[in-house]
Structure 1
Amino acid sequence: MAQISILGCGWLGFPLAKALLTNGFSVKGSTTSESKLQALKSAGIAPFLINLTPTLSNGGVEYGNTIADFLDGSETLIIDIPPQLRGKNNDASTANEKIFVEKIKTLIPYIQKSTVENVLFVSSTSVYGEITGTITEETPPKPDTESGKQLLEAEMLLQMNSNFKTTVLRFGGLIGEDRNPIHFLAGKQNLENPKSPINFIHQEDCIGIILKIIALNSWNEIYNGVCPFHPTREAYYTQKATELALSLPQFIHSEPSVKKLILSHNIEKVLNYGFIKNYL
């Protein structure tokens, strides 16, 4: 039975781990919260308490006390940890500015010494910045947020390492049955970019795409993960608010909208993946 390690069993990583178990893999999963260890164990996932820092903090002995234990025996590592850098501006120069990049730098030597041959890095379309027009995997990234900049640097660190193969998966806005921006935007006034297309992807398709990458051994690739359904922000959020009986959001039309359309060409051409949720 092939084994996979998932660094970050959160909103996406936990259901992904369960899907991998269903598909015949054994799974090691990490969390930064001790309270979540039992839930992982109960689901059949070997649980590890791991909090990446420049000095690397690991969990208790019962759940594996080294990063080496977490990676041992796995051919594939999935990295799904968020940068958590909201609020930092483009000119940030504090010691913590590169904290996410430092986490990846901390991890890489352990990957090099492990059995891991393939890395799947869950990134974000934020690496493209606010580029106007149609964006594909061939579009040069131009991140304009601290999060986007560090994600791109982390991508490059992993891709340039010749000790393992890295596929980068850049997801658009993540939504699911329990997650949709309309719950925050309902009733809001003066929202910008009413005519901007949405670039979202459902949790089920995130998992489906990752399973397809693993099944096809599609490594050393870059994929945009965005559903091919792009109504305008105003149309989409108005419809969602109506469906959920929420207050309608109100948009302003005095300024032009950013027309940023992200396409998933490689997912369609290389993976031949058909989206499950093609209408969000």
Structure 2
Amino acid sequence: MIKQQVSILGCGWLGLPLAKHLIKNGWEVKGSTTSLEKIEKLESEGIQAFKIELQEDKIIGEIHSFLENSELLIIDIPPGLRSDPNSNFTAKLKKLSETIPESSIKNILYVSSTGVFQDHESIPTFTEHYKFTQREVANNQLIQAEQLLLTFKKAETSVIRFGGLIGNNRHPVKYLAGKPDIKNPEAPVNLIHLDNCILLILEIIQQGKFGKIFHGVEAVDSTKEEYYTKKAKEFDLQTPEFDHEIISVGKNISMTWTAKELDVGVPKKV
């Protein structure tokens, strides 16, 4: 029996545990990192490791060897737009896409973010089938990156947009604890646990659901202030203080269609 092989571009906080789950399920995994120091760590987990770095005008590393013999490419790299707002993330992905026709890749799963949607005073609900306006596309590289891959003709792409990521000792309440004047106390909470991220990705792969857009968030029936006040107590942290002087902005992310399409139900773990 020939083992299935996947190339995971970005074996970080989510990519590494995802790779380990795929290996347990019988996949051979090629994984990338931008750090030489992490190569040994990846190899110790049974991953064929590569140092790959996307740049706007070139790719540093053995990208063709990284993609060789894989029919599935999972892209899970941070856009880095907060640390470098002037960087062109879309150009980096375009440079990557230029290598696909020479490879065996047939399907792409792109890990995106609910950051494609804007917060608003009306607290809108965004579904998987929301159509972006031309202005929204022009002003948001995250949307541009998605559309580049969704319209790519040489491989069929699915996009999964995750809410804020938690798990493995990572939780935003640790950064908010004790802080004053936190904005948007009435905003909804859109988070997802690492375990549920992996569950959704595995379902997409196993069911062969490509050419679609999915959402990954968990049902949290409380406001930002209620949720983080409760979590601060659970973690035995100082309660954050919220600013009620300015009207809250926010958004609801729906994954109703995703839950139905994958037959998984809306996860609850946060």
What is the letter of the counterpart of residue 179 of structure 2? K
2:42 to 18, 40, 43: 40
What is the letter of the counterpart of residue 115 of structure 2? S
1:178, 1:144 → 2: CA distance?
38
1:230, 1:143 → 2: CA distance?
33
What is the letter of the counterpart of residue 129 of structure 1? Q
Equivalent residues in 2 for 1:150-229, closer than 5 Å: 150-229=141-220
Q: Secondary structure at the match of 1:218?
A: coil
TM-score (norm 2): 0.92
The match for 1:251 is: 242
Q: Secondary structure at the match of 1:198?
A: coil
Q: Secondary structure at the match of 2:31?
A: strand
1:158, 1:273 → 2: CA distance?
25
Contact 1:143 1:149 in 2 (8 A): no
Contact 2:6 2:29 in 1 (8 A): yes
Please list the CA deviations of residues 96-150 of structure 1 after superposition, one character each: whole Å capped at 9, or x if unmatched: 442x11110110111121100000001111111124321111223469999x811
Equivalent residues in 2 for 1:11-90, closer than 5 Å: 11-53=13-55, 54-58=57-61, 66-86=62-82
2:33, 2:48 → 1: CA distance?
11
Shift of 1:88: 6.2
What is the letter of the counterpart of residue 208 of structure 1? L
2:136, 2:182 → 1: CA distance?
20
Shift of 1:71: 0.4
CA separation of 1:37/1:87 partners in 2, compared to 1, >3 Å: closer, same or farther? closer
2:102 paired with 1:113: yes
Contact 1:128 1:143 in 2 (8 A): no
Shift of 1:19: 0.5
1:142, 1:247 → 2: CA distance?
41
Q: Secondary structure at the match of 2:252?
A: strand
2:128 paired with 1:126: no
Q: How many residues align?
A: 265
TM-score (norm 1): 0.89
1:194, 1:143 → 2: CA distance?
30
Shift of 1:254: 2.3
Q: Indicate the RMSD between aligned Cα atoms, in angstroms.
A: 2.1
Runs of at least 4 residues off by over 3 Å: 141-146
Unmatched 5+ residue regions in structure 1?
A: 59-65, 90-95
Q: Secondary structure at the match of 1:270?
A: helix
Contact 2:42 2:48 in 1 (8 A): yes
